[in-house]
Amino acid sequence: MRIRTPIIMAILLCAAFALCGFAQPVQPLPRVHLVTTGGTIAGGATGSLKAEDFLTLVPDLAKVARLSVEDFVNIGSSRMTPEIQFTLANRVNELWRTDPDLAGIVITHGTDSLEETAFLLDLLVPPVRPVVFAAAQRPPRETDTDGPRNLLNAVRVAASPAAREAGVLVTLNDEIHAALEVRKTHAIALDAFKSPWLGPVGYVDAGQVYLMRRPARHVTLQASTIEPRVDLLTLVAGSDGHLERAAVAAGARGLVLEVFGRGNVPGGVMDAVKDARAKGVVVVFTTRTRGGRVEVNEEARTLGVISGEDLDGLKARMLLVAAMGDTRDVATIQGYFAKLAGRTP
């Protein structure tokens, strides 16, 4: 039986439609913006790496996202200041406003003050699209550096739809942590960044992002400025208030005191707090144990002392730095701490 040419052509056309016309279009990779600030992750053998250098150092980045890059600052994070951190937060907000197609932002940072910078951004950047911090405990000049893997994972997280509305995140050692909860717990260990009481919010395994939970506690402040003159002091056996008085005399406008246990404060320190409050200095109590919630007694409440709830001293200070840019009303600031502690009115 002879098959006519028109029938053959029809069969071939159907095959072509099946292969081409109905094939799924290739989706472009998500776009991620890399912002570098220096730190150990950028500690190259012949000087600090620039943003462009990371693209060469970690070629697999191009398989995960379409990257644009930006050198913001190039400093060790022990030199980080609230002013630089605030400018970085404003830059991130500007990127969100001007680039609606941007999937996420990755920020490389030194480990010394990473938890402070990440938390300040968590307070000042709306948690719509992911901002992910990456860092390293070992510089790229060492053969066992952890920087490339941490950076690649950060880009994976920033590109992932699962990370949307999760707030600012931090990833090292294949773990993903919330900025509110994470802290540096060891000077040199690769697993130095921990969330001691709640654990990581997720992890990266075999190149896949797994977000197990979302931080339920969040505050976004509309800060037009900040108050960098906030000092953090830890009470010790024998504290008598002279350091608190010295801080106020030196120009501190806010004080965060890491007090004993649940909220115990020696009389001499309370006298110094009373004098500080009389001069308009905002005072926050948090526990020096770095775990558990502080209770402010009646005397301290009468003075207008704010309970830092369960925030550690570093994060309580950053919240005060951000909040005091717009208000010194202790009730308003106390409300921020309460919300971050998960306490409802």
Q: Reduced to 3 DSSP states, what percent helix, strand and coil does the chain have, rounded to the nearest 5?
A: 35, 20, 45
Which H or E element spans position 249? helix 242-249
Q: 193 pairs with which residues across the strands?
A: 184
Q: 44 pairs with which residues across the strands?
A: 47
Q: Is 289 a catalytic residue?
A: no
- Cα pseudo-dihedral 305, 309, 313, 317, rounded to 10: -60
* Helix axes of 313-323 and 114-124: crossing angle, nearest 10 degrees: 40
Which residue in 36, 40, 145, 287 is the catalytic one? 40
- 207 CB neighbour count, 10 Å cutoff: 11
The closest of 285, 161, 168, 144 to 218, measured between CA atoms, is 168
Rg over CA atoms, the chain: 25
Alpha helices in 26-81 (DSSP H): 51-57, 61-64
Active site residues: 40
